[in-house]
Amino acid sequence: MAPSGRSGNGICAVIAPILTSLPTIPKHESDYLIQRAWKRAPPTTRNHPQQPIRPRSQPFPLTTQTSRRQESWIQAANAGATELVVGRTVFPPGGSSHERHRHHSADEFVYVVRGAGVVMNGEDEIPVRAGQMAFHPKGIWHGFRNTSDIEETEVIWAWGGAGSREAAGYEVKPEA
């Protein structure tokens, strides 16, 4: 049984219904909320202007490890973040994956925007689909794999506790 006292998909099964019940905020209201937050931000945050998020119609670079496309939206280098990294990864169909790895100094969550795949958490492999989320505590080996042969899988992810890959203590699991 999982530490939460639940069996099965653990955090994914718990979080998915919560996420699907959240209200959608109209664009004009979300723009207003962002502007309010920005005005209240401490001066150190205002000194690092918001980085624009490129529209999906514009490609972003491929990583060197696999054919997955990955970008970091918020991090120390572009936004002055000291305790947070937020990004997006698109996994092409056909088994594209992010190898098992861990962060010694950062927790991570992954939210599946579209598509489906398998979250590798420790030695467990948990199926996930659009609208579900997974959480990986710091120090736990984890990864992700697109299980579709025809559909891309897009995820939004964030690390809490570090502002960069180096500060997170990113380590790829050695092959057995």
Contact call for residues 73 and 38 (beta carbons, < 8 A)? no
Give the pLDDT score at 128. Answer: 93
The model's pTM: 0.62
What's the DSSP call for residue 63?
A: P
Domain ranges (residues) in the chain: 11-50+62-172
Tell me the mean pLDDT in the region 19-35. Answer: 52
- According to CATH, the topology of domain 11-50+62-172 is Jelly Rolls (2.60.120)
The dihedral through the CA atoms of 107, 16, 110, 55 has a sign that is negative
Tell me the mean pLDDT in the region 89-99. Answer: 89
